[in-house]
Structure 1
């Protein structure tokens, strides 16, 4: 079996046209035909039904099933090529979401420096949802990820090491500023300033709105947490942020949520479950998790 035959097969399943596939790979049409014949002969199965009269082809049920496996094979081979090429550079492709990068990662950095890991990191900053997909595609070796519930992903090895509640922040001049906690349902009619769709906050916010049976008034979204805090400080609205992103230096009032049922901000370290960690990656994995355990003990 040739890898190129599998690539021809997948494109033919998609386009259902021998000529189109041949043109895409810059080969002759008989080349594609022979490749498909080789696959069908190897398995003793018919993957395509040819209608020579109408110049059409149809993918059989067994052909559709085989295509699912071939997609997985080609995806894993592409990931393997990326891993091999990147291993030559002795770098670790590391995903870091904005909030985790701004508020959790800096205190961890001195330890990474002492372990000789900082200069090995090739950091990609993006929202947790995007980083998760990059990890699954093999574009990252490891990532810190935020989630609104414990992260369950069959293709990944995931270790959750911290969990933070979500809080409400308001201006010190807001009528709620003197409160220590608030029921989310009491915020009906308030104007919210929120992180945009790249953040896990949106999923958590939808969840708590649904639990509290309110339709929120969202006046502004941005991926810049500092802008959110500044707008809230100016009493232009209130916000819903993980406790991780709230510091004593913020010119804000911080209210805990009194709701019995509420989402949390889960912090996890993840890598693909079939990745054999290099010594540097193993050291990074242990360093991040050990730091998380110490922070949890301190809390």
Structure 2
């Protein structure tokens, strides 16, 4: 069976026209007809029939199954071509989430330079959802992204690098900072300032509020953790932030961390993601090793 036959079949069902499909591929109409016949002979089924009134091509159950498989095969074939092209050119497209980049990119860049890979690794920053989409679409080879564990696609190969820890930040004079048994429900009586939708903090915050069926008061959203901490210092609101965007070695004496245990915090990790069918060889394997060693060293340092 020729993979071109699957391309012809996929396009024919999309265009509903032998003439248009032939024109799209710059071949004759009989070429498309012969491809369909080959597929039907191979599987010994009828793939579709033409509806009498509308002349539409209607897939049989076998045709529906083949179309789903054809979509996957064609997507994977395109990704394989792209991957081999990048291997031939010795290039790798690497995406990283901004909050992770701010904390880890300097440590990742050092071994990339030492191994003379800087000109081969093309790095871009974007939000977690966009990173996942671009990896799935084959536009990125690797990505480091913060993800809620249950939101990841089964078409991805996922390596957890480290968990997120979330906390409430408050001015020492805020009533919650003086409470003997502070709770998240109590905290939601006050306004909050949050990192915007580029970060997972907002999504996690919303999920925690939903557990308590409380509509939170969000005073302000920003992509700057420095601005968030500045507003908290002024005692204008509470902050909700992760240990990635506010590392433990960056303690601010003017702010206090408020513990809470009345809600179940969802499992969130920084993950290394790639397409499941992509084999970690060559440059991809080199960069994966650098990433895993960098995070392993950081995790060991945090525990010590």
> TM-score, normalising length from structure 1?
0.85
Cα distance in 1 for residues equivalent to 2:252 and 2:21 = 58
Which stretch of the first structure deviates more once superposed, 221-230 or 60-69? 221-230
| Equivalences for residues 37-76 of structure 1 within 5 A | 37-51=37-51, 54-76=54-76
User: Structure 1 residues 168 and 274 mapped into 2: Cα distance closer, same or farther (>3 Å)?
Assistant: same
How far 1:179 sits from its partner (Å)?
A: 6.9
Instruction: Report deviation, 1:48.
Output: 1.0
Which stretch shifts more, 176-185 or 9-18? Answer: 176-185
SS in 1 for 2:257: strand
SS of 1:267's partner is: strand
- Does residue 298 (structure 1) correspond to residue 279 (structure 2)? The answer is no
Equivalent pairs, count: 299
Separation in 2, partners of 1:264, 1:165: 9
* Per-residue deviation, 1:72: 0.6
Q: 1:122 corresponds to which residue?
A: 122
Deviation at 1:135, TM superposition (A): 1.5
Measured against aligned partners, the alpha-carbon deviations of 1:226-255 in whole angstroms (never above 9, x if no partner) come to 444444445543332111111427686242
- Map Cα deviations across residues 248-277 of structure 1 (whole Å, 9 max, x no partner): 276862424321522354112222333232
In structure 2, do the counterparts of structure 1 residues 46 and 196 end up closer, same or farther at CA, with 3 Å as the change threshold?
farther
Structure 1 residues 110 and 252, CA gap change in structure 2 (3 angstroms): farther
Q: What per-residue deviation string (whole Å, max 9, x for no partner) do you get for residues 159-216 of structure 1?
A: 2121131112345665545679842111223223323333222331222112233211
Tell me the residue number matched to 2:214. Answer: 214
- Tell me how far 1:134 sits from its aligned partner: 1.5
**Is contact 2:177–2:258 with CA below 8 Å preserved after alignment?**
no
* Contact 1:229/1:250, CA 8 A, preserved across alignment: no
Paired with 1:20 and 1:279, the residues of 2 have a C-alpha distance of: 41
1:112 counterpart = 2:112: yes
Verify the 8 A CA contact 1:150 1:160 in the aligned structure 2: no
TM-score of the superposed pair, with normalisation by structure 2: 0.84
Aligned partners of 2:107 and 2:294 also within 8 Å: no
User: Cα RMSD over matched residues?
Assistant: 2.9
Q: Alpha-carbon deviations, 1:45-83, whole Å to 9, x = none?
A: 111112355422211111001111100100001101111
Aligned to 2:98: 98
> Retained in 2: the 8 A contact 1:165–1:264?
no
How far apart, CA to CA, are the structure 1 residues paired with 2:115 and 2:182?
A: 43
CA distance in 2: counterparts of 1:21 and 1:251, whole angstroms: 68
Equivalent residue number for residue 257 of structure 2: 255
